[in-house]
Structure 1
Amino acid sequence: MIGISVFYVLIFLLAIPGNLVVGLVICLNNQPLSSSDLYLLHLAVADILLAVTLPFWATSVTLGWVFGDAMCKIVSILQELSFYVSILFLACISVDRYLAIVRAMDAHKVSRKLVNWCVCAAVWFAGGLLSMPGLLNSATPSTNSSNGTHLTVCTEHYNPSSVQEWRLATRVLRHTLGFAFPLIVMLLCYGVTMRRLLHTKDGFQRQRAMQVIVAVVVAFLVCWTPYHVTVIIDTFLRAKIGAYKCPTRNAIDRAMFATQSLGLLHSCVNPVVYAFVGKKFRGSLEKVIKKTGVLERASTSRPSRSSSMEMTSTII
């Protein structure tokens, strides 16, 4: 349990700086905000919100939930909100890359900008609705089966007469809108995008763009597939489809902790995949740092690379 707590704190320490850098670079960039930059900015905000909840869960793993019932609901809703919003913005970015590369749409048209902001508002609104089951979470006394200690936990608290129905409904939403739907959108959009990139003449830019696309899909699958598979198994076992004895239950509980931790790690991976791997972002980051004077001495000792760092919006 202490290892899980330390892992949560480590994710918090990694996710906050990385996503803050992404947000600052996008906000301080003098160029007009493109659709991909707008979605990336909102993705960074969502990942920061998710990371903010981790110290609470890290504390609860070792000391129990000591923050009260109201904070249990607030933190649960905030985690669910950031979870859905983050994954939905991943899907939005894949659609935006498809429109920019395959459809070659102008991202700077006024009407397109209005649509982008409406999409952002819709994603946050949808995330807010989908996070409402967090209101059913409450601080509940619990006994640790391994050592007999009594701790308060922040967990789901359904009506006993309808617990199976509520749990099934919330998990179906999580599996469909929080995994299957974004994954299908990403695979379709990136699949068509990669097919178009294979026919481009610039081999270097094609290779860079395809590397980012592959990294996006692989990171999403590696981080979230084990968690959703584990939750599906747990749902089947709770529905009495299979033996659910104490050893199996304990193994599933440990697997839930481990795979959820892997999923939370995705908030650290997002800035690396979408920002630091992308050459366009690195160029913007270098410009922002130069404005502060940190690279002024280094820039005078070698030729400027600003022109080579300028990339079109078709490359992530």
Structure 2
Amino acid sequence: MSGTTADSATTICPDGCTSTDSDGYDYSGYPEPCNKNEVQKFNRILQPCIYSLLFILGLVGNGLVLGTYIHHKRWKAMTDMYLLNLAIADILFLITLPFLAASSQSGWGFGKPMCVIMQILYKMNVYSSFLFLMCVSVDRYFVIVRATVAHRLRSKRVRYSRFVSLIVWIVSLFLSLQQLIYAQVEIHHGTICSVSYQDSINIWIKVVTPILQMVLGFFLPLFVMIFCYSVIVKTLLEARNFEKHKAIKVILAVVLIFIIFQAPYNILNIINIMDTMRGSGLHCSDSKVRDIALQVTSCLAYTRCCLNPILYVFVGVKFRNNLLKLLSHLGFIKKKQRTASTTRPMSVLNTDTSSTLAL
């Protein structure tokens, strides 16, 4: 996370830009800094618009999730606990977006302590969000595919979910130690809040840390989700249930949106890691394209915070009913009589251990 721009590292002109100082010395053998004014202008337009929209939509969606869970105290299943923590993680992440939007206009002006806090909140909640999505898929796997085991452990599931949630937050904090140690406020194409390594830091620390973050924070959740949902789809296809096709569509949407929205940003990060390992600089024009691509793909990845409430919660019949009751209690809507859609029999997918999802 950089405060204003995608100024990752100082980029040079490897072709060798010719310049002569006033003292008559020829500096043509030295590379010149890459001017990224157009990248900054692009970010000054993109970030405030996208971040403000995501902040409002994400805060409303996740706020409704949080309010509904608190009002109805729906913590009777493992998935409920994971979805509650997922909403908290998304909200904490969304808090960082106004700071990013503001710093894109005038640079980072909130000081180093706030820089460190924002860096930690940013990374910690990105990873915790991925890991909680993984936990949801694992819980769905046991409820649908291993229903006997899930029922036998029914009385202990909430206790287990609290322990797993604590582990997820600890792992996310561990993955964010890089931000805690190396977050700095620097003067680089303006004042920015970024993670900056000292020159004395071993190159492998710069490489291994991002790789570890990538593996535990993206690839592990992705592979677990693909495995669990693949087995779930196979089980649903074999079940005789009128809602199975709807459930399969939701599952495919969950996986595809996770990949489509998150993969481009992570692919670019992998390319940056490879460039760091090679120790090679980018041509100025290539660096500008890379910076803009990082900004666009990061905005795409952040959109997932707005989609989580829709895909993982609002598809649930029980949750929709609880949400309507909450809005009615607050006076936003009038009470309506129960319809057939709210009283229809629950399918095998909506068991007592699946109190909010239609999965």
Quick check: 167-176 or 156-165, which moved more? 156-165
Q: What is the deviation of 1:177?
A: 0.9
- Deviation per CA, 1:88-144, whole angstroms, max 9, x where unpaired? 00000000000000001128733222111100111011111111111211100012x
Q: What is the deviation of 1:286?
A: 2.4
Corresponding residue to 1:141 among 181, 187, 197? 187
Q: Larger C-alpha radius of gyration, 1 or 2?
A: 2
* Alpha-carbon distance in 2 for matches of 1:259, 1:163: 29
Q: Indicate conservation of the 8 Å contact 1:91/1:185, yes or no.
A: yes
- Alignment-mate amino acid for residue 212 of structure 1: V
* Alpha-carbon distance in 2 for matches of 1:172, 1:71: 26
Bigger helix fraction: 1
Matches within 5 A, 1:187-202: 187-202=226-241
* Alpha-carbon distance in 2 for matches of 1:29, 1:253: 45
* Alpha-carbon distance in 2 for matches of 1:44, 1:294: 22
Corresponding residue to 2:161 among 102, 105, 116? 116
* Alpha-carbon distance in 2 for matches of 1:96, 1:72: 36
Q: Indicate conservation of the 8 Å contact 1:107/1:113, yes or no.
A: no
Structure 2: unaligned runs, 5 residues or longer: 1-42
Q: Indicate conservation of the 8 Å contact 1:234/1:252, yes or no.
A: no
Secondary structure of 1:139's aligned partner = strand
Q: What TM-score, normalized to structure 2?
A: 0.80
Cα distance change, pair 80–303 in 1 and its aligned pair in 2 (3 A): closer
* Alpha-carbon distance in 2 for matches of 1:108, 1:295: 39
Cα distance change, pair 79–174 in 1 and its aligned pair in 2 (3 A): same
Matches within 5 A, 1:99-110: 99-104=142-147, 105-106=150-151, 109-110=154-155
- Alignment-mate amino acid for residue 160 of structure 1: D
Matches within 5 A, 1:133-282: 133-135=178-180, 136-143=182-189, 151-162=190-201, 164-203=203-242, 205-240=243-278, 244-282=282-320
- Alignment-mate amino acid for residue 202 of structure 1: N
Identity %: 34
Quick check: 303-312 or 175-184, which moved more? 303-312
- Deviation per CA, 1:207-246, whole angstroms, max 9, x where unpaired? 1211221111011101110001111112222333766211
Q: Which residue of 2 aligns with 1:82?
A: 125
Q: What is the deviation of 1:179?
A: 1.0
- Alignment-mate amino acid for residue 195 of structure 1: K
* Alpha-carbon distance in 1 for matches of 2:146, 2:299: 38
Cα distance change, pair 32–267 in 1 and its aligned pair in 2 (3 A): closer
How many residues align? The count is: 306
Q: Which residue of 2 aligns with 1:129?
A: 174
Secondary structure of 1:244's aligned partner = coil
Q: What is the deviation of 1:6?
A: 1.5
Q: Indicate conservation of the 8 Å contact 1:224/1:263, yes or no.
A: yes
Corresponding residue to 2:64 among 15, 21, 25? 21
- Alignment-mate amino acid for residue 92 of structure 1: C
Quick check: 189-198 or 211-220, which moved more? 211-220
Secondary structure of 2:188's aligned partner = strand
- Deviation per CA, 1:15-36, whole angstroms, max 9, x where unpaired? 1110010111122225552111
Q: What is the deviation of 1:252?
A: 1.0
Quick check: 155-164 or 10-19, which moved more? 155-164
- Alignment-mate amino acid for residue 248 of structure 1: D
Secondary structure of 2:200's aligned partner = helix
Quick check: 194-203 or 160-169, which moved more? 160-169
Q: Indicate conservation of the 8 Å contact 2:132/2:168, yes or no.
A: yes
Q: What is the deviation of 1:287?
A: 3.0
Cα distance change, pair 31–251 in 1 and its aligned pair in 2 (3 A): closer
Corresponding residue to 1:44 among 87, 90, 94? 87
1:56 aligns with 2:99: yes
* Alpha-carbon distance in 1 for matches of 2:205, 2:183: 12
Q: What TM-score, normalized to structure 1?
A: 0.90
Q: CA RMSD in A?
A: 2.1
Q: Which residue of 1 aligns with 2:36?
A: none
Structure 1: unaligned runs, 5 residues or longer: 144-150
Larger RCO (CA under 8 A, 6+ residues apart): 2
1:93 aligns with 2:136: yes
Q: Which residue of 1 aligns with 2:7?
A: none
